[in-house]
């Protein structure tokens, strides 16, 4: 079961879980995903909440529905999710991150050296 936070709608937290499945390549293009009913049971939510997550990702072209068969991961899901998550990071998390850097006196140079220390020079 997922633990839900109060600061974000539950259906959006479920979409985050779906996006993680796609980004971690646990769900791949063309793969049938669990039904709304199965996911509602697994996530311990009302099926109406689960269907909102499916519809949101269907509207974003991440999922598609084959009537009578189920929901599937679209061919471009990985790229679409990557773009969605990057936009969300830049819009919601980066401003807070920069504010915290400024408050703590961490410079971009400090950040670069910390990144290299934790991830190696070749990844930046």
Does 89 reside within a domain? yes
43 and 100 part of one domain:
no
- Both tokens of 31, joined, read 């793969």
Phi, psi at residue 65, to the nearest 5°? -115, 130
Task: Give the least confident one: 46-55, 103-112, 113-122.
Answer: 113-122
Number of Cβ atoms within 10 Å of the Cβ of 51 = 16
92 and 39 part of one domain:
no
Average of pLDDT values for 27-42?
97
Average of pLDDT values for 16-36?
97
Question: Taking every pair of C-alpha atoms in the chain, what is the biggest distance, in angstroms?
Answer: 57
CATH of the domain at 62: 1.10.10.10
- Both tokens of 28, joined, read 């791949």
- Both tokens of 7, joined, read 């600061």
Total domain count, the chain: 2
Question: What pLDDT does 2 receive?
Answer: 78
Average of pLDDT values for 103-124?
83
pLDDT surpasses 80 at 124: no
Average of pLDDT values for 93-101?
96
62 and 84 part of one domain:
no
Question: What pLDDT does 123 receive?
Answer: 52
Predicted TM-score of the model (pTM): 0.82
What range defines the domain where residue 106 resides? 78-123
Does 3 reside within a domain? no
- Between these two residues, 2 and 4, which has the higher pLDDT value? 4
């Amino acid at each position: 079961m997922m633990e839900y936070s109060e600061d974000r709608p539950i259906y959006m937290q479920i979409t985050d879980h779906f996006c993680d499945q796609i980004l971690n390549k646990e769900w791949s293009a063309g793969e049938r995903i669990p039904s709304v009913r199965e996911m509602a049971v697994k996530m311990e939510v009302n099926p109406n909440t689960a269907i909102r997550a499916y519809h949101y990702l269907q509207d974003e072209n991440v999922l598609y529905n084959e009537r009578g068969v189920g929901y599937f991961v679209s061919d471009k899901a990985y790229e679409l999710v990557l773009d969605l998550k990057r936009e969300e990071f830049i819009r919601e998390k980066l401003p807070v991150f920069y504010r915290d850097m400024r408050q703590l006196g961490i410079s971009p140079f400090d950040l670069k050296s910390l990144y290299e220390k934790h991830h190696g020079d070749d990844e930046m």
